[in-house]
Amino acid sequence: MENIKTKYNRRSFLKSSALAGGGLMLTASWFASAKAADKMEALNLPDQWNELTGYIKIMPDNVVKILCPNPEFGQNVMTSLPMIIAEELDVDWKNVVVEMGPHDNVKLGPQFTGGSNSVRMYWKPLREAGAAARNMLCQAAAQTWGVPVSEVTTKAGIISHASGKSAKYGEMAGKAATLEVPKGIGLKAPKDFAIVRKPTKNVEGQKIVTGKPLFGLDYRADGMLIAMIQHPPAFGMKLKSFDAAEALKMPGIKEVVSLKMYEDGFEQGGFDTRTFNDLLVVVGKSTWEVMNARKKLKVQWEPIGDIKETMAGRGGKREVVVPGGLESTSTQMEKMQEYAQKPAQQLRKDGDPETAFKNAALVIERTYTAPFLAHNCMEPMNFFANVTAEKAVVAGPLQAPGWAEPTLSKLLNLPPEKIEIQMTRMGGGFGRRAYAQYMYEAALISQKVKAPVKLIYSREDDMTYGIYRPMYTATYRAALDANKNLIAFHVKGGGIPENPVHANRFPAGAVDNYLAEGWQIPSNITIGAFRAPRSNFNAAAEQSFLDELAEAMGKDPIEMRMEMLERAAKNPVGKNNDYDAARYAGVLKLVRDKSGWKGGKDGKYNRGVAAYFCHNSYAAHVVDMVTRNGEPYVERVFSAVDCGVVVNPDAATNMVQGAVVDGIGNAFYGGLVHKDGAVQQTNFDKYRLIRNQEAPKSIEVHFVENDIDPTGLGEPPFPPVFGAVANALYKTTGKRHYQQPFKPESASS
Amino acid sequence: MAKYNLNINGKARQVDVDPATPMLWVLRDHLDMPGTKYGCGIAQCGACTVHLNGTAVRSCQLPVSAVANEAITTIEGLSEKGDHPVQKAWLEHDVAQCGYCQSGQIMSAASLLKSNPNPSDEDIESAMSGNICRCGTYLRIRDAIKTAAKK
Ligand code: FES
Ligand code: FES
What confidence tens digit (pLDDT) does each residue in A396-416 have? 999 999 889 999 999 999 999
Give residue A62's pLDDT: 81
Lowest-confidence pick of A43-57, A110-124, A328-342, B58-72: A43-57
For the cut 80, the answer to whether the pLDDT of residue A313 exceeds it is: no
Whichever domain contains A171, its CATH number is 3.30.365.10
User: How confident is the model over A507-530, as a mean pLDDT?
Assistant: 97
Under CATH, which architecture does the B85-149 domain have? Orthogonal Bundle (1.10)
Radius of gyration of chain B (CA): 15
Q: How far is the CA of A360 from the centre of ligand 2 (A)?
A: 50
Residue A565 belongs to domain spanning: 343-372+468-746
User: Which of A165-179, A263-277, A686-700 is predicted most confidently?
Assistant: A686-700
For the cut 50, the answer to whether the pLDDT of residue A693 exceeds it is: yes
- On whether residue A337 sits in a domain, the answer given is no
| CA A33/CA A133 separation, integer angstroms | 18
Interface contact flag, A684 B42, Cβ < 8 Å: yes
Q: Would you say A181 and A54 are in contact if contact means Cβ atoms under 8 Å apart? A: no
Q: Which residue of B has its CA nearest to A699?
A: B139
For residue A287, which residues of chain B lie inside 8 Å, CB to CB?
25, 28-29, 38
Give residue A15's pLDDT: 53
Give residue A25's pLDDT: 59
| CA A564/CA A93 separation, integer angstroms | 45
Give residue A182's pLDDT: 81
Proximal ligand: closest to the CA of A287: 1
Proximal ligand: closest to the CA of B101: 2
User: How confident is the model over A516-522, as a mean pLDDT?
Assistant: 97
Candidates A368, A403, A563; CA nearest to A485 is A563
The predicted-structure confidence for A373-390, as pLDDT tens digits, reads as follows 999 999 999 999 999 999
Confidence of residue A18 (pLDDT cuts 50, 70, 90): low
Average pLDDT of chain A?
A: 91
Same domain as A566, residue A681: yes
Give the DSSP H or E segment for B14.
strand B11-17
Q: Which of A79, A80, A207, A209 to mutate to test the interface with B (most CBs of B within 10 A)?
A: A209
Give residue A5's pLDDT: 33
- On whether residue A334 sits in a domain, the answer given is no
Q: Which residue of B has its CA nearest to A201?
A: B94
Answer yes or no: CATH 3.10.20.30 is held by domain B2-77. Answer: yes
Same domain as A368, residue A246: no
Give residue A17's pLDDT: 56
| CA A273/CA A650 separation, integer angstroms | 36
For residue A427, which residues of chain B lie inside 8 Å, CB to CB?
37, 98-101
Candidates A154, A27, A26; CA nearest to A90 is A154
Q: Answer positive or negative: Cα dihedral of A272, A273, A277, A282.
A: negative
Confidence of residue B40 (pLDDT cuts 50, 70, 90): very high
User: How confident is the model over A729-738, as a mean pLDDT?
Assistant: 97
Give residue A488's pLDDT: 98
Same domain as A260, residue A200: no
Please identify among residues 8-47 of chain B the ones whose CB lies closer than 8 Å to any CB of chain A: 17-18, 20-22, 25, 28-30, 32-42, 44-45, 47
The secondary structure of A113-148 as a DSSP string is --TT-HHHHHHHHHHHHHHHHHHHHHHHHHHHHTS-
- Please give the residue that has the higher pLDDT: either A497 or A315: A497
Give residue A20's pLDDT: 53
- On whether residue A230 sits in a domain, the answer given is yes
Confidence of residue A503 (pLDDT cuts 50, 70, 90): very high
Lowest-confidence pick of A113-122, A300-309, A402-411, A554-563: A113-122
User: How confident is the model over A336-343, as a mean pLDDT?
Assistant: 97
For the cut 70, the answer to whether the pLDDT of residue A31 exceeds it is: no
Around Cβ B32, how many Cβ atoms within 10 Å? 10
What distance lies between CA A533 and its chain's CA centroid?
Answer: 9
Same domain as A365, residue A388: no
Q: How far is the CA of A44 from the centre of ligand 2 (A)?
A: 28
For residue A226, which residues of chain B lie inside 8 Å, CB to CB?
29
For the cut 90, the answer to whether the pLDDT of residue A244 exceeds it is: yes
Q: How far is the CA of A598 from the centre of ligand 1 (A)?
A: 45
- Please give the residue that has the higher pLDDT: either A655 or A50: A655
Helices A77-89 and A118-145 pack at an angle, to 10 degrees, of 30
What distance lies between CA A381 and its chain's CA centroid?
Answer: 16
- On whether residue A326 sits in a domain, the answer given is no
Angle of CA points A118, A119, A124, to nearest 5°: 115
Q: Where are the domains of chain B?
A: 2-77, 85-149
Give residue A51's pLDDT: 23
Q: Is A748 on the interface with B (CB under 8 A)?
A: no
Candidates B131, B132, B122; CA nearest to B146 is B122
Q: Which of A224, A378, A664, A668 to mutate to test the interface with B (most CBs of B within 10 A)?
A: A378
| CA A453/CA A455 separation, integer angstroms | 6
For the cut 50, the answer to whether the pLDDT of residue A47 exceeds it is: no
Q: How far is the CA of B51 from the centre of ligand 1 (A)?
A: 14
Q: Which segments of A117-253 does DSSP mark as H helices, in order?
A: 118-145, 169-176, 205-209, 245-249
For the cut 80, the answer to whether the pLDDT of residue B30 exceeds it is: yes
Confidence of residue A24 (pLDDT cuts 50, 70, 90): low
Q: How far is the CA of A688 from the centre of ligand 1 (A)?
A: 14
User: How confident is the model over A58-68, as a mean pLDDT?
Assistant: 83
Q: How far is the CA of A499 from the centre of ligand 2 (A)?
A: 30
Q: Is the CB–ligand 2 distance for residue B6 below 6 Å?
A: no
- On whether residue A314 sits in a domain, the answer given is no
Is the ipTM of this structure higher than 0.95?
A: yes
Give residue A578's pLDDT: 95
Give residue A26's pLDDT: 55
The minimal CB distance from B135 to the residues A205, A213, A658 is found for A658
For residue A629, which residues of chain B lie inside 8 Å, CB to CB?
none
Q: Is A596 on the interface with B (CB under 8 A)?
A: no
Same domain as A249, residue A167: no
Query: What's the one-letter identity of residue A730?
Result: Y
The minimal CB distance from B76 to the residues A210, A427, A683 is found for A210
Candidates A116, A50, A95, A68; CA nearest to A715 is A116
The predicted-structure confidence for B99-122, as pLDDT tens digits, reads as follows 999 999 999 999 999 999 999 999
- Please give the residue that has the higher pLDDT: either A655 or A269: A655
Same domain as A697, residue A584: yes
Domains held by chain A: number: 3
For the cut 80, the answer to whether the pLDDT of residue B141 exceeds it is: yes
For residue B123, which residues of chain A lie inside 8 Å, CB to CB?
none
- Residue ending a domain, among A456, A486, A506, is A456
- On whether residue A498 sits in a domain, the answer given is yes
Same domain as A417, residue A351: no
| CA A576/CA A599 separation, integer angstroms | 32
Phi-psi region of A532 (alpha: psi -120 to 50; beta: other; left: phi over 0): left
The minimal CB distance from B141 to the residues A287, A376, A692 is found for A692
- Please give the residue that has the higher pLDDT: either A412 or A745: A412
Residue A662's φ and ψ, nearest 5 degrees, are: -60, -45
Same domain as A626, residue A669: yes
- On whether residue A328 sits in a domain, the answer given is no
| CA A696/CA A659 separation, integer angstroms | 12
For the cut 50, the answer to whether the pLDDT of residue A11 exceeds it is: no
Mutation test of ligand 2: which of A378, A379, A459 has the most ligand atoms closer than 8 Å to its C-beta? A378
Query: What's the one-letter identity of residue A538?
Result: N
For the cut 80, the answer to whether the pLDDT of residue A48 exceeds it is: no
Same domain as A391, residue A364: no
- Residue ending a domain, among A209, A224, A242, is A209
Average pLDDT of chain B?
A: 97
- Residue ending a domain, among A425, A456, A487, is A456
For the cut 70, the answer to whether the pLDDT of residue A354 exceeds it is: yes
- On whether residue A319 sits in a domain, the answer given is no
For residue A462, which residues of chain B lie inside 8 Å, CB to CB?
none
Give residue A23's pLDDT: 59
Q: Is A295 on the interface with B (CB under 8 A)?
A: no
Q: How many helices (H) does chain B have, and how many strands (E)?
A: 5, 5
For the cut 60, the answer to whether the pLDDT of residue A13 exceeds it is: no
Whether the link from the prior residue into B34 is cis, omega within 30° of 0, is no
Q: Is the CB–ligand 2 distance for residue B98 below 6 Å?
A: yes
| CA A427/CA B133 separation, integer angstroms | 10
Lowest-confidence pick of A76-85, A266-275, A447-456, A645-654: A266-275
